[in-house]
Structure 1
């Protein structure tokens, strides 16, 4: 008695390869995505051809087209969704290139499900892939394949969306960028908890060690190796600091070759295609929420938008977190995980685990498409454990955009209940000072010394005397200032700041 317009996931697919694997093909981004979409089509076990019936393909951006000026050494497709469609024999009426961000796959599930419930179309695909590892491998071997494609046809290009993440100050001050933003969040949390750098790294190691066990059992993992908390936390030449407090092993691994796809259909179309009902997985709820830009946030150590997204998704499904059996929480860095574990009282050794794939540092972080893999794993768990619920949390930007979804083989009624909610979180943004002068107080920071010890990169967020936020660079050539930041304890210390000849804010410990 499930209504015809009910959206259901009927197929999921993943494809991966590693340069060291036997049979390695060095697939392009589009080829990898095409393989993943074909795997999703095969996964439907339909009695009728599926590809010709696909009405919309929504593609996730590769790193090479995720921001203005991104390098694309082998060329790229001008229309990724239609390039992918060609590889499986599809010719969709609509083609979408989604905005940048790890929230995108989960957000698209909610958006597409709502359109299907409103009878606007009946079969759509979400697909993406990365081939960063292959790009680096081929460049290292001196190869220069041509991966450029010119495909005609309509394209809804939604843009990069980076203007929603960064204040202009981040670019002006040549900071550590996205990784620096996350490190500032984690160091703000470290300061709130009163932990030293070594203590915090140990906490991160304990958080991520269980992820490595899941990754080691996943055939699509980029780094399938079990590691202890101590191994992840200890700074060595191989596990160097990439930005305090992060060691290399505890940040998202972007050198991967991975693709994933999701097929969402109306129940009517699924029946018409002859997709067995035991393949159907219902979308119980999706909620998205946007956070303030980093410098504007009242509390740099937390993201209320992310936790609100999870809470609203549970509410729409009529569940509490205890009623969810499977969890995949976005893990590009520790901050998005700690934000949720702190709020919901989850422990690193929760018997359910916090990942279904192995997480972005170990399974791999295929750009904006990671959560497509997480959803594919959630669908597999739901099919194998009928009636159980799985939750996927997807994060984008610098804890800037969050989307959460809940899945089960139990039917979900989209006709008499709200199932997709785009949230607005009321917060008062902090005032900014783009060119502070005089005394400032360090609020949070990150610091990184490259192999060449004379090259230091940093992101330092301070408060001015009148309570405004500002972003500065510490003068690492000043001995007292460098010693302060290398100590890991600059919080609350006063600096004197002014502007250099390029207009950048430079701070140093006052004499």
Structure 2
């Protein structure tokens, strides 16, 4: 008999729509999330009222609500979690709005599982949605529907959670978002491999070709089309460089209309609700970790916090990578997947596959909520393959935060409530300097292309070996040739500071 306080996932649900396709309704964030939560309630197969039993409901913060300088263009709910709840007739005691970060939905699985194991909660739901594709499509036509809702009630807003993800020096030099920041890390890995830009793009294509096949078979994918490694790696007008070394098709696709929901409850309540035990999925471990800021990482290519999170989850579950039948590594860009493959010795053509959804560039990067879709897929896989194990690795920021979950229909012993763990943060940060400097050696870089132009952003070391940030002067022919040629690693730059306070380097 499984202990009554054992937390189990009893229901998962996904909902999506694609602009212009049959049945497209241009649903709001709240309606998409409500549809996913309704699907999760139905997925439980319960005799009783699962919706009525939900005492805690967390909403994952949508992208357009993830920074204090942004707001949903069509408005939104004054209490997002309660807007989701009311669509299924739920009235939770606790309503939570999450922080920013793609790791957070999985971290919440661990938090709520621990609450259930300790008796603080009986039934909890996690819901997230994105309607970015619809917002863009309607805005392009000059339409502005009113998506505002006045729901009221208590809500625990956990804030934006951007600590460690905003680096003023990088932002000031044109690395203003995920694409250039990941590109800097990706080029650092390329430097270690000794590969050219074209060779490395071929590696990315080979990694992601199998992802496209999974996405093509997933009805919720935003881009359900198989593509070859060569197609993904070849630079064309349609597959332009967005930031070296990334071609457009190989970066996370945020133009999606997708929602996902997960329902957890105690085994005792699951029995009372009449949820069949073949719907129960056990949580064997949830771990989370926080990385150093990008510019203070000893190795710009590495993400040891993510590895520590996965290894700690394996230790808690008493399992290893070879025990995992199903794997989903967060794939906003290639490097979070490469880092796991490098550490665990996995290949791009691993017969298990490295994604359950199709990955963020192809299935879609549903804002902070992508990994909820991965968890939904993992739950359904282990239900169909009883006794198997699934691993989900969830990433936030620019490899800033990570959470790992291990799932199976095999029971997990929660009597000690010791299956959730926070990995200590590293203490080996590189010293950084914001003082003016005369010279720098280049460690990594990217050339970021935006509507306002192109910026070559580098991270390097000054004469005192402190970490510094700057722009390479693309108006200088020799410097431009060096950076556009893709091999500025180790180059010495002479640096001046311009009237905007930016550090500008030329080849010495």
Interval containing the TM-score (normalised by the shorter chain)? over 0.9
- Provide the rounded CA distance (Å) in 2 between the counterparts of 1:430 and 1:451: 33
Cα RMSD (Å): 1.2
Match of 1:46, SS state, is coil
**How far is the alpha carbon of 1:76 from its aligned partner?**
1.7
Superposed CA deviations along residues 297-342 of structure 1, whole A, max 9, x for unmatched, are 0111111110010011011111111011000000000110011000
Give the stretch that moved more between structures: 6-15 or 498-507.
498-507
Q: Distance in 1 between matches of 2:387 and 2:4?
A: 21
CA deviation after TM superposition for structure 1 residue 133, in Å: 0.4
Moved more, 65-74 or 86-95: 65-74
SS in 1 for 2:163: helix
What SS does the corresponding residue of 1:284 show, helix, strand or coil? strand
User: 2:283 — aligned with what?
Assistant: 283
Q: Distance in 2 between matches of 1:464 and 1:486?
A: 22
Measured after TM superposition, the shift of residue 150 of structure 1 is: 2.6
How far 1:446 moved relative to its partner?
0.6
Contact in 2 for aligned 1:175/1:458 (Cα 8 Å): no
CA–CA separation in structure 2 for the residues paired with 1:177 and 1:132: 17
Query: Residues 65-120 of structure 1: CA distance to partner in whole angstroms, max 9, x if unpaired?
Result: 11121242111222211111111111111011111011011111011101110100
1:470 to 439, 454, 468: 468
Counterpart Cα distance in 1 of 2:152 and 2:122: 24
Flag the 1:417–1:115 CA change in 2: closer, same or farther, 3 A: closer
Task: For 2:256 and 2:250, locate their aligned partners in 1 and report how far apart those are by CA, in whole Å.
Answer: 16
C-alpha contact 1:170 1:177 (8 A) present in aligned 2: no
Query: Aligned-pair distance for 1:506?
Result: 1.6
Question: Do structure 1's residue 294 and structure 2's residue 286 form an aligned pair?
Answer: no
Higher mean alpha-carbon deviation, 150-159 vs 242-251, is at 150-159
Partner of 1:4: 4
- Does the 8 A contact of 2:456 with 2:483 survive in 1? no
The Cα of 1:163 is off from its aligned counterpart by 2.0
Paired position in structure 2 for 1:53: 53
In 2, Cα distance between equivalents of 1:449 and 1:112: 41
Residue equivalent to 1:20: 20
Partner Cα separation in structure 2 for residue 52 and residue 320 of structure 1: 38
Contact 1:436 1:464 in 2 (8 A): no
* Within-5 A mapping of 1:273-422: 273-416=273-416, 418-422=418-422
Q: Map residues 109-508 of structure 1 onto 2, 5 A cutoff.
A: 109-416=109-416, 418-450=418-450, 455-508=453-506
Give me the whole-angstrom Cα distance separating, in 2, the residues matched to 1:105 and 1:351: 27
Aligned mates of 2:102, 2:277 — CA distance in 1: 30
C-alpha distance in 1, partners of 2:451/2:268?
A: 59
**CA offset digits 1:245-268 (Å, max 9, x no partner):** 000110000000000000000011
**Matches of 2:94 and 2:416, distance apart in 1:** 28
Runs of 4+ in structure 1 over 4 Å off:
none
**In structure 1, C-alpha distance between the alignment counterparts of 2:326 and 2:175, rounded to whole Å:** 37
Map 1:95-106; keep pairs closer than 5 Å. Answer: 95-106=95-106
Query: How far apart, CA to CA, are the structure 1 residues paired with 2:52 and 2:329?
Result: 34
Deviation by residue 1:171-219 (Cα, 9 ceiling, x = unmatched) = 3323242211110111000000100000000000000000000000000
Residues 447-492 of structure 1 show CA distances to partners (whole Å, capped at 9, x for unaligned) of 034578xx21233101111111011112222222222211111111
Q: CA, structure 1 residues 135+417, in 2 after alignment: closer, same or farther (shift >3 Å)?
A: closer
**Contact 1:110–1:420 (CA under 8 A) maintained in structure 2:** yes
Whole-angstrom CA distance in 2 between matches of 1:181 and 1:190? 14
When the two structures are superposed, what TM-score results if normalisation uses the length of structure 1?
Answer: 0.98
After TM superposition, the score normalised by the length of structure 2 is 0.98
Unaligned runs of 5+ in 2: none
CA distance in 1, matches of 2:457, 2:476: 17
- 224-233 or 63-72: bigger deviation: 63-72
CA distance in 2, matches of 1:99, 1:449: 29
Q: Which runs of 5+ in 1 are unaligned?
A: none
Q: Which is further off, 168-177 or 375-384?
A: 168-177
Contact preservation (8 Å) 1:166, 1:294: no
Which stretch has the larger CA shift, 351-360 or 65-74?
A: 65-74
CA contact (8 A) 1:436 1:470 kept: no
Query: Structure 1 stretch 26-35 or stretch 442-451: which is displaced more?
Result: 442-451
Give secondary structure in 2 for the equivalent of 1:110.
helix
Task: Give the Cα–Cα distance (whole angstroms) in 2 for the partners of residues 73 and 209 of structure 1.
Answer: 35
SS in 2 for 1:471: strand
Contact 1:286 1:406 in 2 (8 A): yes
Distance in 2 (CA, whole Å) between partners of 1:170 and 1:53 is: 47
> Offset of 1:426 from its aligned partner?
3.0
Cα displacement (A) at 1:51: 1.0
Report if aligned partners of 2:174, 2:448 keep a CA contact under 8 Å in 1: no
Structure 1 position 417, deviation (Å): 6.0
**1:16-60 CA distances to partner (integer Å, 9 max, x unpaired)?**
000131010000011100000000000001101111111111111
Number of the residue aligned with 2:90: 90
